[in-house]
Every structure is written in structure tokens, then in C-alpha cells.
Amino acid sequence: MTRPANTKPDNTTAEDTGGAEAADERVTPLMAQYIEIKTANPDCLLFYRMGDFYELFFEDAEVASRALGIALTKRGKHKGADIPMAGVPVERAGDYLQRLIAQGFRVAVCEQTEDPAEARKRGSKSVVRRDVVRLVTPGTLTEEQLLDSRRNNWLLGVARARPSSGEANFGLAWADISTGAFHVAEVGAGRLAAEVARLDPGEIVLPDTLYSDTELAEFWREQRAVTPLGRDAFDAMTAERRLSAFFGVATPEAFGAFSRLELTAAAAIATYIERTQFGQRPPLAPPQREALGQTMAIDAATRVNLELLRALSGARQGSLIAAIDRTVTAAGARLLADRVSSPLAEPAAINARLDAVAWAVEAADLRLGLRTLLESAPDIERALARLALGRGGPRDLAALARGLGVASELAGRVAAAAPPAEIALAVRDLTAPDPALSAAITAALADELPLLKRDGGFVRAGYDPDLDALRRLSEDSRKVIAETQARYAEETGVKSLKVRHNAQLGYVVEVAAQHGDRLLGAPFNATFVHRQTLAGALRFSTVELSELESRIATAADRALAIELAIFERLVAQVQAEGDAIKAAARALAVLDVTAALATLAAAEDWTRPVVDSSLAFRVEGGRHPVVEQALRRGGGPFVANDCDLSPPTPAGEAGRIWLVTGPNMAGKSTFLRQNALIAVLAQTGAFVPAKRAHVGVIDRLFSRVGAADDLARGRSTFMVEMVETAAILNQSGPRALVILDEIGRGTATFDGLSIAWASLEHLHETNRCRALFATHFHELTALSARLKRLTNATVRVKEWHGEVIFLHEVAEGVADRSYGIQVAKLAGLPASVVARAKTVLAELEKGDRGAPIHRLADDLPLFAAVRPKAAEAPAPAPDPVAELLAGLDPDDLTPKAALEALYRLKAAARSPS
């Protein structure tokens, strides 16, 4: 995007445009101002306002030109070299900001802070005052076009305390300034990565000492946007004072009990927001403490493997959230994503959500009506934030009014339907805002609204008499002048009287010379003042015309000033109701999510799970929510399967492990993932894709499925597999659910088999968790004879005329082989390769390769060592009996020779081997 040729920025002084043509190379006042502001913001691209453009200079211009694909020009010289320049129009700045933020840049927005006319009063070479009014960073966005309406944009603060011994603790604080949500928690080092993965923050702020810590340097590099801050932002000694000042309270104790680490992280968030917003305070709620253990811990690898919010491609399509999202509001979509990211770990809270969904499932007609109403509810959370930060417009005010109107109507409908506890609380919050606020906004605003308040025209006609009069002057000046002319003609009796405009005199009354004496004499000379005599005409001025001219000349500005005053008055009323509005917004989101999950359950035939504090995990007729929908679109059915990982006895202290064997393409990975997703859905508070389900609360969920390398960190596919497996074996406990697929397949056969064997035993004996363990090492199935909670299961297949048919049914038992060659044939390997592979497989199978492993299962209690390979064992001693028999020919023996041979055989049989 480039400006038209020979066009200079508007609203600039002479110095603003004269620098480019300066004959010498001195730093112009404009460039001096730019360099000073840029020096104060070295880590940001500087959007420097010049009229209708944001300009960038020097290195910023070169960077922006490459990043945005805009023209790079030049402006004057600096130290003997051309000054690179690039610019973007102010009206499209949001689009360019979005692209820069997505690429990881931070932007300082520098605005003109005075009228150019005021600058000219100081001299023709004076520069318009400018200053940075905002730092745009990934975690502090509020504009609609910069945000994903379906996801929270968390700004995460991380503080650390190193104890004299033991594991370090971390204080976390995360806020979304676009919605006002604010939370804190304290976690151990072992849970830090899982919490960061759960929040998926847009930006992380942390102390520069923590950022440079060698132990965590690699972890921080993996994150999307990390901003190190100086020690003052994370000063624990001043944290309480800074947080209190931010919220205007005497002490944060008014909000609850927080640890020192939590206060430190929360104060750092408040400090960073103040620095980036330059005095504008977003409507943040007081920090809410999340106790450790309230949610299911899911690490980053598991989230990727299970595709909770994004598919492996990075897109939303194909993820769990895309499959289950039936919300109709932006706030509802955000709440659903948060719930899926953070499944609960408390049965009472989970069942409260399930009660709400069950109520909505039963009330089908009411649910349909609620969803129709909700569709018209705007995103009032983010509208409120924009208004509080001075970035909102008339449409945000209108959105609030509509949203509050919807909230009031919903409250009436739901209250009459005997809702459960969670919905009853939502109804209370829906009615929290003052109903007069919505009426006041509606009365003030016009039906058609501009995007920006500075454009004017957003106040309804008839709302303010003074504004209406100014609008008439501004918009209907000709009509006003004509009315004045007609009145003067009637009063004076001079029908030919005209009101005209003169460049020097302004508005004047002009009459022919023969009527001049009439206006010069009494009583009209008191009103009409003679100003000019022309050939054949006289001109007069009046006080009324002078005032009218002044009013017409300034009518537009005065009208806009009145509109802006009305706007600010309404915004002040909105801010006074800020807490109540946020409560209503959350209630709308809760209703939307509840109705959406009920709609999903009814449409997809999902059932309410039983969720309690036991160690049960029993699913009957379970299905994969994403795959089932994909198959339905393709016209194929999904084969449902059971899964029971509950303890063998009701009083059991540990759940079962299913060892799942079967060929590739048969559905093992789908089976594993679907059970993990059923657990996530159940603890989210949703119905699940199954006939019946009983889930004892899972505190940690682990999934190691698929193969991927990490070459940037020097990790092979097998190393990634082992790192993820190590995390599982080191962290899972009796309440965990573990999903493992093909452990050990990334290395040599016996190495891999040994690792899988030992891992399976460790899960059974040490972790004692509920687990699904899929493998192609069929030799592992022998362990079920010794490990009492290990159950063999297989995915059934049929062979028909040399072809393999996948039944996708999981049943107890053991797969006899992997059918890998058949799968290779299906994949399109050349027929000669398939034929040769069958020959090689037949030769290998003659060696009875599985026999030694089965003996290991019988002989080794914990598979602590491996016997020497068969090829390395000493050769067996010769068998004398066999040698004697081999040398005899019965047809050639006489009776005496036969008797002698019998004696020799008897003697050989008695001798030791």
C-alpha cells in the first residue's frame, strides 16, 4: 500500500514536509523528534503519526517493508545516507498491525498530541507534539480484527522462588485485557510446562534473570512470544503495593488470600499493562486464585497428540473443539475452549455442569428459543474493554445495549423453567446491570452508526436540541440562509433583498441602490449596518448574520464536540456498571455453552457420564467424536467399542492396563484417542459419545501417540518418543490415565521390545495407573499371565481371498500377526516388493522367532536381564545314540550283528551326554 504520488501527509507543519528537500544534512526537528521517541522504544516498530499515515523510518521502515510487502521510499538524508521510509494509512492500520503481531513484532503507536494549528502558533518551523500512546504487543490486544473471537488472549506472568533445597515453585498470573478475566496460581516446577500449555498464552512476561536461566532457556524459546522485564516489575517487596494501586484498594487481601509468588506475578501483570496502555486501565476483574488440583493436568505433547484445540496441521478444522462447538456467541466459544483446555478434577463441580446440560437436553423447546435469542447477543465483554481503554466506538455502545437487552429477556425465560444451580446463578448475573443503562444508550444512539466516534453522526436526531440546531446549520446552511433572506425581505418590504457571501465581509444583505435609503433610515438602520456601496447596489451586515456565519463555520466542530461529550457520558455510565456487565457477559457465555452442549448431545446421541471420585473407567459403545463425524460426511458408519480400565475389584487400589494388539490401519490409535477424549469431555462437563460411561476423576492425562522428530533441538523421532515416555513414567500416578502407542518402535527390534516390556511393567507396578498400551510387539501379551491387572485386547480383522478386512472391533484376545504386508499392499507398494516381502516373512517365521521371548516371560519375574541370543549359545554335544542309529542299516544286519548293535545302543544310552 503506497500513498498517491506527490501527496504529503495532512495536518503537518511546514517543517514536517520540508525535511525531505533540506539542502544540508542537519537533523531536522521532525527527525530529531522521531529519533528521541524511537530511542525510548528500541524494541518496538514505531508507528509515527503524520497526518493520515503512520510512517516508519530507518531500520523500522526496512523491516516493515519486508514484513508487510509495502513500498520502501526515502525522506531526506541522515549522516550522509538516504533515510528509508515506509508508511501505512491510519484507516487501515489495524490490518497491518495484525500482520506484524502475527509475525512476533511489537509496535509503539505514536500519535499527534496537539492540533497542528497550535504548533504553528509557536512558529512556522515548529513540530507538532507527538508521543507514544500505546504499545501493541501480542498479549495486550483489544481490537476485534486483531483477536480470535473464539479464544481468550492470555497475558501470562511468571515469577519464581528458589528454595534452599528441593523443587522451585512458580507463581503464575494470567489476564485477558480484552475480556477482563484475571487469575493466579502457584505451581511446582514439574507442572509449569503443563500450565503454560493449558493457557496457550499470547504473550509471557517474566524476569530477565528467569529468561536467561540455562535450565529453562530451551523451554522459553519454544513459546510464542516471551518478553523479559527488569527486576522492578517482579519486585516481591513492592508487589502488594503496586497491585493495590492498580485496583485502587488498600490491600489485595480484599480479593482473597494469595501467596507471595502469586502476588508477585499478578503485580508484574499490572505493571506491564500500565506500561503498555499508558495510563488507560482495562476493566480487569480482581484476581481469582486457582487452587492446585482443580483441573486435569494435560501436558503440551498430550494436547498436540489429542488435537484438543488444533489439529496436527495447526488448523482448527479436525480438532476436538471444531467437532463439538455448537456455540452461537463469541463469549460462549471462548468459554467452551477454556473448559476443554482445563477439564475439572472435582466431581461436585463437574456434576453441576452436567446437571445444567441435562436440564437443557430435556427442555428442547426452551433451548431452541434461548439459542435464537443468544444469536443476537454481541460480544459485550470485549466491547466493554475497548470502551474502558478509549478504543471503543458508537457500535460498541450499541452492542452493550443490545447485549444487556438480550440478557434481561433470557433471564425472564430461564427463571420460569426451574433451572439447576449453575443456571440459576447465571440468571442472577443476567439481571445484575441497571436496566436503565440499556435504555439510555438506545435512546441516545442513532440506528445507523459509524465505526469511529470521530466521524460523528451517531447521536439520534431529537436527543439533544442544541445538537439538532447545529446539524441544521452544518447540513442545511443554504436553507437557513434562504429562510433568513425571506424574513429580512418581509420585514423590510424589499422583495429583491438578497443574502450573499463575500470573501472579505462574510454574509451580507445586498439591495439595489433604489432601496438603499430604506435600510439606511430608521428603524432599519438599527439592524442593518452599511458596509459597502457598489455600482447599483448597497451591502449591509447584521449582528444576526455575523453570529450565523460564525455558527455555520464552526457548526460541524461544535456538533462533533457535543456528540463526543454525549459519548463520554454514556461510557462513564457503562464503566460505573462494569462489574455487573462482566457478570452478565459471563452468564450469557454459560447459557450459550450449556445450550450448545445439549444441542450436541441431542443431535449426536451422546449420553451423560457418571463422574465420581472412584478409580473407575468404563465405557460402553464409545466412539471417537471427530472421526465419527468425518465418517458420517463420507457416508460410512463408525464402529463403537467398549473399554474397561476399572480396578478388577470394587475396592481395588489401581486400575487396569489394556495391552492392545492388532494390525496397522485397524483402528488402534483411534480407539486409544477416543477414550482419552471421552475422559476430557466428561470432566469438561459435557455428555460423551458412548452408550454409557463411568469415569472416576482423572488428575493427569498423558498421551504418547504417533511419531515426530524435533530436528531444531537435535532430537530424532526416537528421542522425542523416549522424552515423552519418560515424562509419563516419572509423573503419572494412580489417578492418571495414560495412552501409549507403539513404544519402542523407533529403534532396533530387541532394544524396542525391551523398552516396551520394562515400561509396561513400570506402569503396572510403580505408576499403578489406568492405561491403554498399543503395540506391535505381540511377545508382550505373555505378560498378562504375571501382571494381574493387565488385559490383552486386540482389534479384529478378517482375511478373505488373500485380502485383509478391518472390522475395527476391539475384543479380548491377542493378534496372531500384524498384517503389515497386507497394509503395504493397500498403500500401493509394487507387486514385486509385496511378493518378495511375503517370501522373506515366511523364511523368518520358520525360525520360530517368538519362542525365546515366551520363555523369557516364564523365566524372568521383572525382565531385568535378557538371555544371550540363540546364535551366541554353545553348540550342543553330540548324541552317541543318534550317531549309532545313523550308522546302522537294518537290511544288512545278521541276527548276531543286530544283537550286538542293541547292546552298543543300550550302553550309549546309559553314558552321560
Distance of CA 792 to the CA centre of its chain: 39
| Banded pLDDT at 909 (limits 50, 70, 90) | low
Query: Is it the case that residue 829 has pLDDT exceeding 50?
Result: yes
CATH no. for residue 43? Answer: 3.40.1170.10
Q: Tell whether 633 and 769 lie within a shared domain.
A: yes
The answer as to whether 584 is a domain residue is yes
Q: Tell whether 378 and 494 lie within a shared domain.
A: no
Q: Which residue matches cell numbers 520360530?
A: 848
| Banded pLDDT at 716 (limits 50, 70, 90) | low
Average of pLDDT values for 226-243?
93
- The DSSP secondary-structure symbol of 314 reads S
CA distance 562 to 186: 50
Q: According to DSSP H, which parts of 521-660 are helical?
A: 543-576, 578-604, 625-633
615: three-class secondary structure by DSSP:
coil
Q: Which residue from 697, 699, 704 is spatially nearest to 721, judged by alpha carbons? A: 704
> Residue 664, annotated ligand binder?
yes
205: three-class secondary structure by DSSP:
strand
> Residue 667, annotated ligand binder?
yes
Residue 604, C-alpha cell as written in the block: 449426536
The answer as to whether 403 is a domain residue is yes
- Residue 371's domain comprises 344-446+579-604
Query: What stretch of H or E contains 226?
Result: strand 226-229
- pLDDT tens digit sequence for 55-70: 999 999 999 999 999 9
Query: Is it the case that residue 546 has pLDDT exceeding 50?
Result: yes
CATH no. for residue 498? Answer: 1.10.1420.10
Q: Which residues contact 601 (CB under 8 A, 6 or more apart)?
A: 357, 361, 607, 608, 686, 687
Instruction: Note the pLDDT of residue 590.
Output: 97
Instruction: Note the pLDDT of residue 166.
Output: 62
What are the b/e assignments for 356-389, b being 16+ CB within 10 Å? bbbbbbebeebbebbbebbeebbbbbbbbbbbbb
Query: What stretch of H or E contains 500?
Result: strand 498-502
For the sheet containing 692-696, what is the strand order?
610-612, 692-696, 617-622, 641-644
Q: Tell whether 583 and 549 lie within a shared domain.
A: no
Q: Tell whether 599 and 615 lie within a shared domain.
A: no
Show which of 256, 276, 292 is a domain's final residue. Answer: 292
Average of pLDDT values for 241-268?
92
The residue that leads in pLDDT, 709 or 45, is 45
Helices 625-633 and 578-604, axial angle in degrees (round to 10): 60
> Residue 76, annotated ligand binder?
no
Q: Tell whether 503 and 530 lie within a shared domain.
A: yes
The answer as to whether 802 is a domain residue is yes
Query: Is it the case that residue 819 has pLDDT exceeding 90?
Result: no
- According to DSSP, the residues that pair with 77 across neighbouring strands are 82
527: three-class secondary structure by DSSP:
coil
Instruction: Note the pLDDT of residue 855.
Output: 47
Q: Tell whether 26 and 89 lie within a shared domain.
A: yes
What are the b/e assignments for 622-642, b being 16+ CB within 10 Å? bbbbbbbbeeeeeeeebbbbb
The answer as to whether 313 is a domain residue is no
Query: Is it the case that residue 474 has pLDDT exceeding 90?
Result: no
User: 301 near 198, Cβ under 8 Å?
Assistant: no
Total of domains in the chain: 6
Least confident of 142-151, 580-589, 846-855, 858-867: 858-867
Instruction: Note the pLDDT of residue 870.
Output: 43
Q: Which residue from 750, 705, 711, 699 is spatially nearest to 724, judged by alpha carbons? A: 705
Q: What count of other Cβ atoms lies within 10 Å of the Cβ of residue 157?
A: 31
Instruction: Note the pLDDT of residue 20.
Output: 39
> Residue 665, annotated ligand binder?
yes
Q: Tell whether 652 and 772 lie within a shared domain.
A: yes
CATH no. for residue 261? Answer: 3.30.420.110
Instruction: Note the pLDDT of residue 107.
Output: 95
Show which of 564, 594, 626 is a domain's final residue. Answer: 564
Q: Which residue from 648, 643, 674, 670 is spatially nearest to 659, judged by alpha carbons? A: 643
CA distance 549 to 507: 7
The answer as to whether 419 is a domain residue is yes
pTM greater than 0.85? no
Average of pLDDT values for 503-529?
91
The answer as to whether 121 is a domain residue is yes
3-state helix, strand, coil in the chain (%, to 5): 50, 20, 35
The residue that leads in pLDDT, 651 or 616, is 616
The answer as to whether 832 is a domain residue is no
> Residue 675, annotated ligand binder?
no
Instruction: Note the pLDDT of residue 864.
Output: 43
End-to-end CA distance of the chain: 95
The answer as to whether 845 is a domain residue is no
Chain mean pLDDT for the chain = 86
| Banded pLDDT at 115 (limits 50, 70, 90) | confident
The residue that leads in pLDDT, 596 or 558, is 596
CATH no. for residue 792? Answer: 3.40.50.300
Q: What are phi and psi of 184, to 5 degrees?
A: -140, 155
| Banded pLDDT at 163 (limits 50, 70, 90) | low
Instruction: Note the pLDDT of residue 396.
Output: 95
Q: Which residue from 440, 431, 437 is spatially nearest to 412, judged by alpha carbons? A: 431
Residues in the chain: 913
User: 85 near 73, Cβ under 8 Å?
Assistant: yes
Q: Which residue from 559, 563, 577 is spatially nearest to 444, judged by alpha carbons? A: 563
User: 4 near 73, Cβ under 8 Å?
Assistant: no
DSSP string, 238-294: HHHHHHHHHHT-S-GGGG----HHHHHHHHHHHHHHHHHHTT----PPPPEEPPTTS
- pLDDT tens digit sequence for 524-539: 999 999 999 988 899 9
Q: Tell whether 699 and 809 lie within a shared domain.
A: yes
CA distance 588 to 430: 7
- pLDDT tens digit sequence for 831-868: 787 777 777 777 766 665 444 444 445 544 544 443 44
CA distance 473 to 486: 17
Query: Is it the case that residue 12 has pLDDT exceeding 70?
Result: no
- pLDDT tens digit sequence for 736-764: 999 998 887 777 677 888 888 899 999 99
Query: Is it the case that residue 104 has pLDDT exceeding 80?
Result: yes
Instruction: Note the pLDDT of residue 569.
Output: 96
> Residue 230, annotated ligand binder?
no
Query: Is it the case that residue 503 has pLDDT exceeding 50?
Result: yes
Q: Tell whether 231 and 185 lie within a shared domain.
A: yes
Q: Tell whether 124 and 171 lie within a shared domain.
A: no
Average of pLDDT values for 712-729?
75
CA distance 239 to 848: 70
What are the b/e assignments for 118-130, b being 16+ CB within 10 Å? ebeeeeeebbbeb
Least confident of 257-266, 273-282, 468-477: 468-477
The residue that leads in pLDDT, 126 or 107, is 107
Per-range mean pLDDT, top range of 215-219, 391-395, 559-563, 594-598: 594-598
Instruction: Note the pLDDT of residue 877.
Output: 60
Q: Tell whether 785 and 806 lie within a shared domain.
A: yes
Instruction: Note the pLDDT of residue 881.
Output: 65
Show which of 105, 136, 167 is a domain's final residue. Answer: 136
HEC readout, 739-755: EEECCCCCCCHHHHHHH
Q: Tell whether 232 and 379 lie within a shared domain.
A: no
